[in-house]
């Protein structure tokens, strides 16, 4: 693999290529070129060629990439071949939806359990995952050495939950609460803010209509 360091934009496009390569029907081609992928996805040829070259050296001029090899390289690069365990805190509406979603394994994420303060939620099972009381969080983290924490509690509680996760050994936080989290150096936070995506969407629509 040529480079482990790619731009955020490239990283965000790689799952799209992988998804396309896997959806090739019953008689998929053995080889596929960056140009063919770009055409199929309606993307810029140069961008796709550069993205693929940054994660694979197996592309050959006039032949392209061996499709199966490229799928393996993309999965390896994205870490999908080796599932990371995670825990989730806040088993409410959004938390339960995430716990029930069985597609995460395909992306290398295995949610072990949910945690909640609500006695009515505790000890239920959602999507085959237990919802445990908060008192058990540190112990489970210590036993399983889980490194990813998902936060789906209301914003007012997110920082306290984040602090507890870090104290328990969590190194990466996937934050769905719409608040900024203060974390020490070395802890990674990925914010999932639907308001931001929505703002981009409406701005795009506005621009489109203002030119007509």
Residues that bind ligand NAD (CB under 6 A): 89-95, 115-118, 121, 134, 152-155, 157, 160-161, 176-178, 194
Q: Is 95 annotated as a binding residue?
A: yes
Which secondary structure element, helix H or strand E, spans residue 130, and what is its range? strand 129-133
Q: Which residues contact 85 (CB under 8 A, 6 or more apart)?
A: 110, 111, 112, 144, 146, 147, 148
Q: Is 206 annotated as a binding residue?
A: no
Which residue number, 80 or 176, has a Cβ lying nearer to ligand NAD? 176
Dist CA 212 CA 207 (whole Å): 9
Q: Is 94 annotated as a binding residue?
A: yes
Sort strands 129-133 and 65-66 into parallel, antiparallel or unpaired.
unpaired
Dist CA 183 CA 189 (whole Å): 8
Q: Is 92 annotated as a binding residue?
A: yes
Considering the complex, what minimum distance in angstroms separates the CB of residue 194 from ligand NAD?
5
Which residue number, 48 or 121, has a Cβ lying nearer to ligand NAD? 121
Which residue number, 34 or 161, has a Cβ lying nearer to ligand NAD? 161
Place of tokens 């328990």: 168
Q: Is 91 annotated as a binding residue?
A: yes
Which residue number, 81 or 118, has a Cβ lying nearer to ligand NAD? 118
Of residues 149, 150, 152, 134, the one with CA closest to residue 94: 152
Residues that constitute the known binding site: 90-95
Give the residue ranges of the annotated binding site for NAD(+): 90-95
């Amino acid at each position: 693999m040529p480079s482990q360091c790619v731009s955020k934009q490239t990283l965000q496009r790689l799952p799209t290529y992988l998804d396309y390569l896997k959806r090739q029907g019953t008689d998929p081609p053995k080889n596929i070129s960056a140009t063919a992928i770009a055409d199929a996805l309606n993307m810029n040829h140069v961008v796709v060629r550069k993205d693929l070259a940054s994660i694979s050296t197996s592309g050959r001029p006039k032949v392209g990439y061996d499709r199966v090899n490229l799928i393996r390289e993309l999965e390896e690069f994205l870490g999908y071949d080796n599932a990371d365990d995670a825990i989730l805190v806040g088993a409410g509406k959004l938390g339960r939806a995430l716990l029930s979603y069985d597609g995460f394994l395909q992306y290398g994420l295995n949610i072990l359990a949910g945690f909640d303060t609500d006695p009515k939620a505790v000890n239920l099972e959602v999507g085959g995952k237990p919802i445990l009381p908060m008192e058990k969080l540190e112990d489970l983290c210590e036993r399983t050495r889980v490194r990813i924490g998902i936060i789906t509690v209301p914003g007012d509680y997110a920082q306290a939950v984040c602090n507890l996760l870090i104290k328990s050994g969590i190194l990466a936080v996937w934050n769905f609460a719409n608040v900024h989290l203060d974390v020490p150096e070395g802890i990674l936070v990925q914010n999932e803010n639907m308001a931001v995506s929505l703002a981009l969407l409406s701005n795009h629509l506005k621009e489109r209509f203002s030119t007509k």
